[in-house]
Amino acid sequence: MSATLRLPQSKVKIWFQNRRARQRRESLNSTVTT
């Protein structure tokens, strides 16, 4: 996957971590509001 995006593996890993962290934060916020 990193080859198609032409990005270093570390950047791809960080990008995925940020994405998962954001989704987890949104899910926590949704559960709190309900």
Q: What is the DSSP letter of 4?
A: H
pLDDT band at 2 (very low <50, low <70, confident <90, very high): low
First to last CA, the chain: 37
| Average pLDDT of the residues of the chain | 85
The whole-model pTM stands at 0.55
